[in-house]
Structure 1
Amino acid sequence: MRCNLSAIIIGITLLSFSASAQKNWNNKKCAVVLTYDDALNVHLDNVIPVLDSLGLKGTFYLSAYFPGSKNRLSDWKKAAANGHELGNHTLFHPCIGKSKGRSWVRKERDLDNYSMERLVEEIRMTNVFLQALDGKTKRTFAYPCGDMTVNDSSYVNNISNDFVSARGVEGRMSSINDANLFAIGSYMINGQSGEEMIKLVKEAIKNNSLLVFLFHGVGGEHDLNVSLPAHRQLLQFLKKHEHEIWITPFIEATEYMKKNQTINK
């Protein structure tokens, strides 16, 4: 009888541990972050209204000089006041022009023509701009074009003290114990259907992962675009499955990861 009782206790403990392991994202099975790049008008006009209608929060990466940033300051202030995250996407969105498909990169916005000092100063100036909008000092960063170097030298360490974390463009999900918070992967969306995006969410649920979506145009305004119906279908699925999906801004997801890493050291 004593042996059977011990076996039962061990079995219950293992089941409890297994259940806990399956819900390690703020007591949910996975985390999903919705990120939107380049401060487009459609983010304010198309995205935020539907997010607000569903009670969901997104992360918007602003390049301060872009028209959609500087021409709609009051709208971004309202978005931040309503719980949406404003992230840093640099001042001018510089990219490496020699990379394939980058003929659109202007000479003065080419990272190969930047100095490290110039880039870091522009990034820090963008933090000042964003603080004027939302009053916050903690911030996350998104690498323009996914580029992380200036003249072949990584600038990641030069900005790591200025940010909580940073999002890249590598199409991968992250575990709760992902060690590199300055290279979090994301899935760039361009023409995918609602079903295709939902398939990614189901994979994240299955694998207990962090899934970051990277949107540009939503219903237009950018060559990288997703249709309004597909975008809405994804959001409605997320809302319906909130009991198992933690839908949260990027800063909250990565702060949670950092805290979990500290606890498990």
Structure 2
Amino acid sequence: MRKITTNFLLFFFVINVIYAQSDMPWNGKKCAVVLTYDDALNVHLDSVMPVLDKHHFNATFYVMGDTEILNKRMEEWRKASKKGHELGNHTLAHPCDGSIDHRDWVIPERDLSKYTIFRAVNEIKTTNTLLKAIDGKDERTFAYPCGDLTINGTTFYDQVESEFVAARGTFHGLESSKTIDMKNIKCFSMHGQTGEEMIKLVKEAEAQNALVVFLFHGVGGEHSLNVSNEAHIELIEYLSKHKKDIWVDTMVEVARYLKNEK
């Protein structure tokens, strides 16, 4: 009788451990949040990083190699990396496919449809070399400019996949740790959302034990795709108050974790 009771208790304990693990699949938390900021803007250094640092959060900043802001404020980007922020690869010149409808704003020199695969791959690798010269790191993630995946039907990322831990796309959606496509991680692009609306996405991720990736451009200005400083701070403060349940980290750290788990 005692043996049966002991076995039953052991079984009960194992079931509870498995249940607890399934309910906390993100580094021991209910969900994961990755904050990404595209195009290396002044506001990222001046407004975003002080808020993140205040709450001890690391984020991913997707940088283009030829941006003036990278050139003029390189030491600040270097310091940001030392604090734990990721400098992600957003290509050298941010080329977008100008053959797509409503892309009249794409200049010929940065028209991805006029690129060769060789040129795209070379510019991505050159940007990796530049970023390593800044932060000294060998591992980072990639973000597709404008979410464009192909050059005349050919997927160019396949040629540089070994250079990265993962790649972030622009398709909207929450991600499950079991079904995530590491070559095209989904996100939510922010433009005009309130703090409440962004927090709602985090709560949905908590309810589904999912990953939510935020894609920011302007924060308080400097880009046509923009959210207010107040809304951004409201989101960060919510995340800070719920650190017990929410894992906030860089894209590269979350991607590393997923690969190790798999």
User: Would the TM-score normalized by the shorter structure come out above 0.5?
Assistant: yes
Q: Which residue of 1 aligns with 2:14?
A: 13
Report the alpha carbon displacement of residue 23 of structure 1 after superposing the two structures with TM. 1.1
**Which residue in the other structure is 1:111 paired with?**
112
Q: Distance in 2 between matches of 1:39 and 1:133?
A: 14
| CA shift for structure 1 position 178 | 3.1
Task: Give 1:100 shift.
Answer: 3.0
State the 1:10 CA deviation. 3.3
Q: Structure 2-normalised TM-score?
A: 0.96
Q: Using the TM superposition, give the Cα deviation of residue 11 of structure 1 relative to its aligned residue in structure 2, in angstroms.
A: 3.4
Q: Once the two structures are superposed, what CA deviation does each residue of 1:35-76 show, in whole Å capped at 9, x if it has no partner? A: 000001100011001111111111000001112222211111
SS of equivalent residue, structure 2 residue 25: coil
Kindly indicate whether the alpha-carbon contact (under 8 Å) linking 1:178 and 1:257 is maintained by their aligned counterparts in 2: no
Determine whether 1:182 maps to 2:220. no
CA contact (8 A) 1:61 1:87 kept: yes
Give matches, 1:124-139, under 5 Å: 124-139=125-140
How many Å separate the matches in 2 of 1:155 and 1:190?
Answer: 28
Distance 2:203 2:69 in 1: 33
Do the aligned partners of 1:217 and 1:223 also contact (CA within 8 Å) in 2? yes
Paired position in structure 2 for 1:31: 32
CA separation in 2, counterparts of 1:141 and 1:118?
A: 17
d(CA) in 2 for partners of 1:138, 1:14? 37
Q: How does 1:114-263 map to 2 (within 5 A)?
A: 114-261=115-262
Amino acid at match of 2:181: N
By how many angstroms is 1:9 displaced? 4.2
- Partner amino acid, structure 1, of 2:149: M
Cα distance between partner residues in 1 of 2:236 and 2:84: 17
Say which is worse superposed, 110-119 or 67-76, in terms of deviation.
67-76
**Shift of residue 5 of structure 1?**
6.1
The alignment partner of 1:83 has SS state of coil
Identity of paired residues, percent? Answer: 48
Letter in 2 for 1:78: K
Q: Equivalents in 1 of 2:221, 2:164: separation in Å?
A: 30
Cα distance in 1 between the residues matched to 2:182 and 2:169: 10
Q: Match of 1:72, as an amino acid?
A: R
Q: 1:137-161 CA deviation, whole Å, 9 max, x = no partner?
A: 1111000000011122111211101
Counterparts of 1:55-134 in structure 2 under 5 Å? 55-134=56-135
1:49-60 map, 5 Å: 49-60=50-61
1:4, 1:83 → 2: CA distance?
50
CA RMSD of aligned residues (A): 1.4
Give the aligned residue type for 2:65: A
Instruction: Show structure 1 runs of 5+ residues with no match.
Output: none
Please give the alpha-carbon distance, in whole angstroms, between the structure 1 residues aligned to 2:100 and 2:239: 35
1:165 and 1:182 in contact (8 A); partners too: yes
One-letter amino acid of the counterpart of residue 185, structure 1: K
Number of matched residues?
Answer: 261
**Amino acid aligned to 1:156:** Y
Distance 1:178 1:68, change over 3 A: farther
